[in-house]
Chain A
Amino acid sequence: MLFRKMWRDLLSNKVQFMSIFLMSLLGIYVFVGLDSECNGMRTSEKAFYEECDLADLFIQGKLFVEDDVKTVKKIPGIVKAEKRYKTDGKAELDVERDLQMYFLDSNEISRLYMVEGTPYVPGMKGVWTDYLFAKARGLEIGDKLKMKVDGTEFEQEIMGTVYSPEHVYFLPDAAAVMPDYGSYGVAFMDASSYPKSDSMVYNQIIADLEGVDNTGGLSDEEKNICKNVGNTVKARLDSSELVSTDKDSDISYQTFRSEIEQHSSMVYIFPMVFLLIAMLGIITTMTRMTSRQRMQIGTLKALGFTKKTIIRHYCSYSLFLSILGGIIGAVAGYYTIGAYILSMLMETYLVPGMGLVFSARSFIAILVSALISVLVSYLACRKELAPAPAETLRPESPKDVSHTAIENSSLWMKLDFATQWNLRDIMRNKVRSLMGVFGVLGCSMLLFGAFGCLDTVKFMTRWMYGELNTASYQIIMEQGTPLAVTEEYAKKYRGQMVENAAVEFEAGGIKKSGSATIYDKGGYLHFQDKNLKEIQLNTAGISMSYKMADILGLKAGDTFRWHVVGDDRWHISRISGIYRNPTMQGITMTREVFRDLEYDFVPDTIYTNRNIKDEFEDDDNVVGAQSVSELMDAFDAMKEMMYAMVYMLIGAAAVLGIVVLYNLGVLSLVEKHREMATLKVLGFTTGKIRRILQDQNIWLTTLGLIGGIPAGMWLIAMLFASMPEAMDYIPKYEAASYLYTVVGTFALSVAVNRFLSRKVKTVDMVDALKGVE
């Protein structure tokens, strides 16, 4: 019977209970949505890397022979090792397509994951391409694929399509920002398939180490193992030019990991906000409910019901709502947010079998939310349960009201009636008022967070392609194009030549991979200091990007060690200046400084303002030309994700604002019913009473907004904090975002209040002033 009572109480107080239900639902909805995709990524990462036995250590910097592999295999801590030749080639298809090529010696480490076709075994002829490349290019098993490597054309039959654990995320070149799988690919062949087999060389050894897990990120201990084994390899092979990097420095591994970390950190933020509001809702609703049902509680006690039964009954309201909300939220979150984010992840990461995984955490979240609801309900209703039934059966004695400090001040008498009334109302209903402020705070936080995210991403694009690089086109040169040839192009198109090289840094025991930008004279590349003020870099020195300096703990004037990947010469340089760059973290210098370090300047990119679209179709020296707008389009995938998040945030803000304000509004109207009737009897017009209510609403909204905007900034900082290390995000807030947030929040709050305060008109003076029976 008490269940029926609960059910009917819920129905007759549906507005208030709806807010508890919706907030529990939203909290779990977002949690499960994010958690299931995050957990899906984690599970598939683990399964994939473990099944394929992802390499832990990559050794390069010289050409290897079989004896080297034998030596490496004998080093303690190395479980397996194999050599291979890794290079960039082309596939001759509709157009020439970039194809990263691997000529394998064996397939023990970073094994290929077969999608279809014949599995690779050492010595077998043919080519295995990545699945998406084959799919996008319409390649079938058995097709002959024409390729070009190291200047030689050759052909191999496609034996199968695969996923590669080292190619979960990969870009065609240094200039690309987002992957566009299918337009370029990766191919694996046996070493014997190399077209000039007599001149075949191996430029990489990969190794599987003991004590290093395949998944879950490298712990400090694992990093140490990699470092120590790497040093032993260098010593045993007696080659100081060797570079050994652990998988943490591998862009594929690192990007996917940081994506997982980023999503993990987001899992808790939103649900916490919603659950906090749900808890506040439970406090206000249950306190009012039990206080209103005081007589019923007394009756139940007098009839012989135990306290436990009564507590259980009142806790069942929020338990029922939070569990129901939780279950609906979990299912909806899984199939909407989870599925949507997963579909976008699948465009970015090549992991077989990536799907949503409903984790135990989701069950625990529902349970925790339910338990907290029960606890909050218990705390809210225990007041009515403590006294003896004889006391509970009597109507509650009026609250002991005393004057607050402000009411005793001289200022008080100068305030008009409406202000005094509102101030008293707020102070005597602190929890309700606080909940209103929190609701508005949450709403404006989400709104400001949404607009701020957009501002930040828009700013990044504008910063990169409007301020730091003012060229309208970039020409990508073929690898290995002689400097003299590139210079001719630069001259013809009045461009600025730039070389991008992979570099490894070391300072204070911290080792990091990054890039070096070597530039020729020209006016397209610009630099800004950490406050984004345009600066001229010292042309005689080496400058470091702000984020890289920050990671390495360096400042201008400090020294650091570095070397170009593939070259064993380590240099000790002094930072001559610090500049800021959103996507490229590393160092920059002029070609003259680079030349003084005895490097050949081999530019790979020319920046120009000439309109050069479609000029290089049959040009062997040029890979292609891209306009700035095309480069900006590459950001679209990121923007699409961002927009999805922005809409989600705005939607959540609206739901939060409406639900909380509507709920409190109804509560406040019910409680003020008699006061409003009295005011009407005294001659106050409906309009005047509505204005008084609106005044209070505006005060609380203003308070919420004051807290909401900094909270929104915190939210943005949290969201961007977990972006990949190579990204240097600067949170940006345009004036319009402040305006939209303030206007949006006020509009919502005023609209809800106006909608509700229509009820003032229907307050019946006679009815409301009758005695309470």
Chain B
Amino acid sequence: MKPFIEFRGVEKKYMLGENAFYALKGVNLGIMEGEMVVILGPSGAGKSTLLNLLGGMDSPTSGQILINGHDISGFSDDELTAYRAWNVGVVFQFYNLIPTLTAHENVALMKDVRKNVKKGSIWEKELSDTQILDPKEALMSVGLSEHMNQFPSQMSGGEQQRTSIARALAKNPRLLLCDEPTGALDTGTGKEVLKLLQKQSKETGHTVVMVTHNSFFADIADRVIRVKNGTVEEVVENDSPKDASEVNW
């Protein structure tokens, strides 16, 4: 079977003054559709860069990134925006909710996301039947039916992160990217969030990619990618992933 996501010799170089710094060096990897993937590695290993490239939030210096067979590495700004609008849901470490919008409004924001996107993109053709979810349903699916009209500042960290997940799910994305989603949460709340993400992967069959430095999370993944110094150190397929509720850290 062909991988849904494929990195071929991907490099990302930053210039710091006159010195070149390689965040990623010749990364090759493949991810199958519907997998729950955990990218592990210490700080500065390049995991966030990997996630950014995967989410079309940045472009590689060289190499190819194939999503369902389409190479997004040479995409223009507009094409990348269309890619994000149709394919990607993002969950951030610090939730990144709009502070002046309520939980419901933060999720409802997604209704507008495809409005000005470039028409006629390959994604539109492939995904035209994916509907934006009703914000209420999305919030209910993360267990936040009680907090819909609260502003982020009135919610706990866990509630904010769940709102952030609801916002990502509202797009019904085939690729859910999570950047240290439990990084700012206590263990109990973090576990709830993990459960939600795992459930999402299992129930919708969408691909979930989670970046973390917490090696305990490896147990719940179908595939674990270990990154170090900008290279992929190891890729491990996990035949019997644990349930998120069983993980302790």
Contacts and interface: CB of A to CB of B under 8 A. Distances in A.
Contact of B94 (A301, A308, A389, A773): A773
A4 B101 contact: yes
B96 A295 contact: yes
A389 B115 CA distance: 19
Interface stretch (A5-13, A128-136, A525-533, A604-612): A5-13
Contacts of A309: 112, 115-116
A121 interface: no
A2 B101 CA distance: 9
A729 B117 CA distance: 63
A304 B96 contact: no
Contact of B167 (A8, A303, A305, A773): A303
A1 B84 contact: no
A302 interface: yes
B85 interface: yes
A306 B85 CA distance: 9
Contact of A303 (B58, B77, B113, B118): B113
Interface in A300-322: 301-309, 312
A1 B58 contact: no
Interface in A378-429: 388-391, 393
Contacts of B118: 306
B98 A302 contact: no
B92 A299 contact: yes
Contact of A8 (B57, B82, B101, B110): B101
Interface in B52-87: 52, 55, 57-59, 77-78, 81-82, 84-86
Interface in A12-40: 12
B101 A5 contact: yes
Nearest to B151: A8
B96 A389 contact: no
Contact of B86 (A295, A304, A389): A304
Interface residues of B, number: 37
Contact of B55 (A295, A302, A391): A302
Q: Which of A298, A301, A389 lies at the interface centre, i.e. has the most chain B CB atoms within 10 A of its CB?
A: A389
B155 to A, nearest CB: 15
A432 B187 CA distance: 46
Contacts of A304: 81-82, 84-86, 88, 113-114, 117, 171
A306 B81 contact: yes
B238 to A, nearest CB: 28
| Consensus secondary structure, chain A interface | helix
B138 to A, nearest CB: 14
B206 interface: no
A349 to B, nearest CB: 54
Contacts of A388: 52, 57-59
B100 A9 contact: yes
A343 interface: no
Given A1-B108, A2-B109, A389 B57 contact: yes
A8 B117 contact: no
Nearest to A386: B77
Interface string A761-773: 0000000000001
A8 B112 CA distance: 18
A301 B81 CA distance: 7
B111 interface: yes
B105 interface: yes
A307 B81 contact: yes
A298 B84 CA distance: 13
Interface in B28-57: 49, 52, 55, 57
A481 interface: no
Contacts of A308: 116
Interface in B137-155: none
A391 B14 CA distance: 11
Nearest to A312: B116
A288 to B, nearest CB: 16
Interface in A422-446: none
Contacts of A303: 84-85, 90, 109-110, 113, 167, 171
A391 B59 CA distance: 11
A239 interface: no
Contacts of B108: 1
A296 interface: yes
Nearest to B85: A304
A1 B57 contact: no
A721 B87 CA distance: 66
Contacts of A2: 109, 112
A390 B52 contact: yes
A8 B100 contact: yes
Given A1-B108, A390-B52, A307 B101 contact: no
Nearest to B184: A773
A75 B179 CA distance: 93
B245 to A, nearest CB: 29
B56 to A, nearest CB: 8
Contacts of B90: 302-303
A309 B49 CA distance: 26
A309 B115 CA distance: 8
Interface in A679-724: none
B22 to A, nearest CB: 16
A6 to B, nearest CB: 9
B57 A390 contact: yes
Nearest to A10: B100
Interface string A327-339: 0000000000000
Given A302-B57, A303-B110, A388-B57, A296 B116 contact: no
A296 B92 CA distance: 12
Contacts of B49: 390
A9 B105 CA distance: 14
B78 A306 contact: yes
A301 B118 CA distance: 14
Q: Which of A1, A304, A312 lies at the interface centre, i.e. has the most chain B CB atoms within 10 A of its CB?
A: A304
B59 A296 contact: no
A5 B115 contact: no
Nearest to B96: A299
Nearest to B92: A299
Interface string B220-235: 0000000000000000
B85 A296 contact: no
A304 B177 CA distance: 13
A305 B83 CA distance: 11
Interface string A647-667: 000000000000000000000
A339 B52 CA distance: 61
A312 B112 CA distance: 13
Contact of A296 (B57, B98, B110): B98
A391 B58 contact: yes
B81 A390 contact: no
A611 B120 CA distance: 95
Q: Which of B57, B90, B106, B111 lies at the interface centre, i.e. has the most chain A CB atoms within 10 A of its CB?
A: B57
B98 A306 contact: no
Contacts of B113: 303-305
Q: Which of A1, A296, A389 lies at the interface centre, i.e. has the most chain B CB atoms within 10 A of its CB?
A: A1
A462 to B, nearest CB: 60
Contacts of B57: 301-302, 388-390, 393
B177 to A, nearest CB: 9
A703 to B, nearest CB: 37
A382 to B, nearest CB: 13
Nearest to B55: A302
B117 A1 contact: no
Interface of A: 1-2, 4-5, 8-9, 12, 295-296, 298-299, 301-309, 312, 388-391, 393, 773
Given A5-B100, A302-B88, A302-B90, 8 more contacts: A1-B101, A4-B100, A4-B101, A296-B99, A304-B84, A306-B118, A309-B112, A388-B58
25 contacts: A4-B101, A5-B101, A9-B100, A295-B96, A296-B99, A298-B96, A301-B81, A302-B57, A303-B109, A303-B110, A304-B82, A304-B84, A304-B171, A306-B78, A306-B81, A306-B85, A306-B116, A309-B112, A309-B115, A388-B52, A388-B58, A389-B57, A390-B49, A390-B57, A773-B94
